[in-house]
Structure 1
Amino acid sequence: MEYPNYGPPMDDFAKFTESKHWLDRLGQQPAVAVRDSIAEILDQQVPGATLEWIKVADVPRYLTRGRPQPDDEGHVIITRAGIALPFTLSVISPGRKLEILQGAFSWVAVKLDQPGNRKDQV
């Protein structure tokens, strides 16, 4: 089945993963981390909800902050980072029909320069 406005039912993270932006803060597989987080949020909202597919709908917006590295001009220590990722997805919930939803996934992390004190929020 193909959806007229969204194409074939498959994940599409190209606008996210093809970015030249630094994504290491999201782990080795940033697209998997985002997908898993959104699937978990959907399941928390409606227990048993299953994320069928997700497509990044537009270019993500990034925020990265840091401070100059002492004694090393030109290098920065990253202290905060965030992303806003517009998406379209398909979800099936128990006892309900398939739904196409649009939204934005946002993630922010602070204290990236303090590994033991890092805090993340989605």
Structure 2
Amino acid sequence: MRNAVSRPLLALGLALSLLLSSAPQAQAKSRIYAGSEAEALKCAHLFSMTALLLWKSGKISTRAKDSGMAASVIILDRYVGGTWEQKKKALTAVGQRRTLLTTLEEFNAQNKYCLRRFPIN
């Protein structure tokens, strides 16, 4: 994931992740995602959770973690509709359906496909 996201995109991703984490919960209406949006949500989850897990275990640098998080936010921004609160809620739901081991296995099997399907550059 290193060098996959330029500095301006990384800054955008970090800013959007702050917005995503601080959006007020009361504003979100329920939304059901299907098709390519659901697939994009899964890919965003794989990038963000894998980056976070590997960083917490000391396997990757903070910069690499930030690149993974930025990739996730860019995928959400470009390929998933709805408010940031709806996206956050859907991303949480995707994560609740997977174990940490399953997430890592899916990332290993699908990360290249995700980047082809949902380009971030």
Shorter-chain TM-score tier? under 0.3
Q: Which structure has the higher relative contact order (CA within 8 Å, separation 6+)? A: 2
Could you state the TM-score of these two structures normalised by the residue count of structure 2?
Answer: 0.26
Higher helix share: 2
Larger Rg, first or second structure (1 or 2) = 1
Q: Where is the strand percentage greater, Structure 1 or Structure 2?
A: 1
TM-score by length of 1: 0.26
